[in-house]
A and B are shown apart, each in its own frame.
Chain A
Amino acid sequence: MSKKDPYAGSSYRISKAEWDKLNEFFQKIEPPAQNELYASGDHYTLYLKLIGLGFRPASDAMEIYEMAEEILLLGWEE
């Protein structure tokens, strides 16, 4: 499976402050299980954070998690 570019080819990056906030939250949560029998709220919160940053995440928690991971890997606007 190829890694999707969350910026869809754009050279734009989130700011350092946004990156720090996202990273802080991301470090606190677990990767999603396939089917979740007990709601944690964590991946929904991550989904909302990505929407708030202007991204368009999928509804699949694993893909949301991977998108956040990729955004963090791509760094911030210098």
Chain B
Amino acid sequence: MTKQELLQLNAVPEGKEPWLSYDQYVELKRLFGLLPSPFHDDLHADEAYARMHHFLTEVAQLEVSDDKAKIHFNTFVLIRRGYKVEEITQAEYDALRKLMDGIEQPDSDDMTLHETGSHRALYDYLRKGIGVSVEAGRGPAWHRAKQLMAAFERNKASKQN
């Protein structure tokens, strides 16, 4: 499939800011992980694609036909779009910076989380201090915090300009 043919499958609005919540985004990635390749026959494919199609049309509100190649491509594009990052306060940003200072960057799918330590403190602050949802794991906690901080910095910069 050429690049042009591929892009003709796109049903995700171009230029639109992310609109899925973090929880929806986590579910999107989980469902994508269950999809067999659209180019191989798989006995379990139909059910997985049906669930993914339901998510794309009912949750993400996209107009996508039930063609497997379209479902697969649009799910990937939607993952690339990301999720709507919540706004945090200056105090929350400062606290996150402090917690993130010198902390090891884990892979995003690193689900290790000890009872104590810097990643646990970060996870707990995200959940209980700021009150945002985050998957239980040092990877998700680190990347969630990074996104919140980056969004805060972008907002601050745009207000100053």
Contacts and interface: CB of A to CB of B under 8 A. Distances in A.
Interface residues of A, number: 23
B107 A63 contact: yes
B128 interface: no
A5 to B, nearest CB: 12
Nearest to B32: A59
Given A37-B15, A39-B12, A47-B76, A59 B81 contact: no
Contacts of A36: 77, 80-81
A51 B81 CA distance: 22
Contacts of A43: 76, 80
A35 B108 contact: no
Nearest to B82: A35
Contacts of B93: none
Contact of A60 (B10, B16, B108, B147): B108
A53 interface: no
Contacts of A45: 3, 6
Interface in A50-68: 51, 58-61, 63
A67 B109 CA distance: 14
Interface in B18-53: 18, 29, 32-33, 37, 39
A63 B109 CA distance: 10
B112 interface: no
B107 A39 contact: no
Interface of B: 3, 6-7, 10, 12, 14-18, 29, 32-33, 37, 39, 73, 76-77, 79-82, 104-109, 147, 150
10 contacts: A35-B82, A37-B14, A37-B15, A39-B12, A44-B6, A45-B3, A48-B37, A58-B109, A59-B33, A61-B80
